[in-house]
């Protein structure tokens, strides 16, 4: 897998009504708190005064340790979970005010396991969100689904296959086609290469890069796979200590001194990924767990 040059890491978004200019905020999260009750009483605070900005046309990758609420944040941006406090706006509109149809038109979601309907064939799975709107006659829905099927590298003959007959890589492609069927400007990816063998993972990353660039999408991705992160990310937002500690290009994140960053990026796994992708290894941070005294980039920006 080849790393994506920084100069190419941001797609050129297509113009459209209600869309910000390239490089301007498309998602803004401000002062967000995520609080969940604990069995037996009490509560746990996952996010505390979290800020995050996602710029139009970029691929922003969310990383963080277990329990830092990466998927929770994705679900809140989608409007599936409601934060205890704070605001989330997508395309300038509060998520709390979006209808289900409005959210579907703005955001496509690729779930970790694909989440295909087992009783539907491939074409019906892809077509489902568009068919549910009732906005187009069946023949046009089918035509749109076939276009998306071919866009993700599947063959026309795959349209009638059932999910049980698909490989892991094909399931991911069908799920991606379904996420794109409404032509949303924003695509959310939850562990997009999880469960794939190395060759299938590389092929799917190449597809994601192509779709991002050709459609001018803004992408928010959660992944633990460093090869995928290095290959696709314009910026990386690190969740730790209940908020976003840094949101910056990969090189700046690698130079930011924090225990999680040292463990995640500069451990054996991270260094191997950088070596494979010919990414220059940063200077080794201090060995203790105390963040360096240098001023941090502005939170969430």
Residue 283 to residue 1: CA distance in whole angstroms = 24
Domain of 207, in residue numbers: 24-277
With a pLDDT cut of 90, the percent of the chain lying above it is: 68
For residue 33, which phi and psi values (nearest 5 degrees)? -120, 130
Instruction: Extract the tokens encoding 133.
Output: 């709107």
Q: Is the dihedral of CA 266, 72, 223, 95 positive or negative?
A: negative
Q: What is the pLDDT of residue 37?
A: 93
Res 231: pLDDT = 94
What does the pLDDT read at residue 22? 83
- On whether residue 180 sits in a domain, the answer given is yes
- For residue range 183-221, list pLDDT tens digits in order: 999 999 999 999 999 999 999 999 999 999 999 999 999
Distances, alpha carbon 297 to alpha carbons 237, 262, 264, 300, in Å: 11, 17, 19, 8
Residue 111 φ/ψ, nearest 5 degrees: -80, 160
Distance of CA 176 to the CA centre of its chain: 12
Report how far residue 301's alpha carbon sits from residue 52's, in angstroms, rounded to the nearest whole number. 6
State how many domains the chain has.
Answer: 1
Closest CA to 250 of 242, 266, 56, 240: 266
Question: Any idea what the CATH number is for the domain that residue 231 is in?
Answer: 3.40.50.300
Cβ atoms < 10 Å from Cβ of 84: 14
Q: Is residue 4 part of a domain?
A: no
**18-31 pLDDT per residue, tens:** 688 888 999 999 99
What's the 3-state SS for 115-127?
CCCCCCCHHHHHH
Taking the CB of residue 157, how many other CB atoms lie within 10 A of it? 8
In a domain, 291, yes or no: no
Residue 14 lies in a domain: no
> Pick from 177, 188, 170, 209: which is nearest to 111 by CA?
188
- Name the one residue in this structure whose structure tokens are 């994506």: 4
Measure Cα distances from 219 to 124, 129, 166, 171, 290 in Å. 25, 19, 26, 20, 32
Exposure pattern of 44-76 as b/e (b: 16+ CB <10 Å)?
Answer: eebbbebbbbbbbbbbbbbbbeeebbbebbbbb
71: in domain: yes
This prediction's pTM: 0.84
Q: How far is CA 112 from the centre of its chain?
A: 11
Going edge to edge, which strands form the sheet with 107-110? 107-110, 186-190, 218-222, 59-64, 235-240, 243-248
Residue-by-residue pLDDT tens, the chain, 301 positions = 444 444 345 555 554 556 888 889 999 999 999 999 998 889 999 999 999 999 999 999 999 999 999 999 999 998 889 999 999 999 989 998 877 777 777 899 998 877 899 999 999 999 999 999 888 999 999 999 999 999 999 999 999 999 999 999 999 999 999 999 999 999 999 999 999 999 999 999 999 999 999 999 999 999 999 999 999 999 999 999 999 999 999 999 998 999 999 999 887 777 777 776 566 666 654 334 433 333 344 444 4
């Amino acid at each position: 897998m080849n790393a994506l040059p920084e100069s190419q890491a941001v797609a050129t978004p297509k113009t459209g009504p209600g869309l910000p200019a390239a490089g301007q905020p498309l998602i803004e999260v401000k002062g967000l708190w995520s609080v969940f009750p604990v069995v037996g009483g009490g509560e746990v605070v996952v996010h505390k005064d979290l800020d995050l900005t996602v710029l139009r046309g970029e691929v922003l990758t969310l990383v963080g340790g277990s329990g830092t609420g990466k998927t929770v944040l994705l679900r809140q941006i989608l409007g599936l979970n409601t934060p205890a406090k704070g605001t989330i706006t997508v395309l300038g509109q509060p998520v709390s005010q979006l209808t289900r149809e409005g959210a579907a038109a703005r955001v496509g979601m690729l779930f970790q396991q694909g989440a295909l309907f087992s009783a539907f064939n491939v074409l019906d799975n892809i077509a489902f969100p568009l068919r549910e709107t009732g906005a187009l006659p069946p023949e046009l829905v089918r035509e749109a689904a076939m276009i998306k099927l071919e866009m993700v590298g599947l063959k026309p003959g795959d349209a009638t296959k059932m999910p049980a007959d698909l490989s892991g890589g094909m399931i991911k492609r069908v799920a991606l086609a379904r996420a794109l069927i409404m032509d949303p400007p924003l695509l959310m990816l939850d562990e997009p290469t999880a469960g794939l063998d190395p060759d299938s993972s590389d092929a799917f990353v190449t597809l994601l890069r192509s779709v991002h660039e050709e459609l001018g999408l803004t992408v928010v991705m959660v992944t633990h796979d460093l090869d995928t992160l290095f290959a696709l990310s314009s910026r990386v937002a690190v969740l730790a200590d209940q908020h976003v500690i840094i949101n910056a290009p990969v090189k700046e994140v690698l130079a930011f001194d924090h225990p999680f960053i040292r463990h995640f990026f500069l451990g054996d796994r991270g260094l191997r990924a950088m070596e494979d992708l010919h990414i220059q290894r940063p200077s080794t941070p201090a060995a203790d767990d105390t963040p360096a005294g240098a001023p941090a980039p502005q939170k969430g920006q």
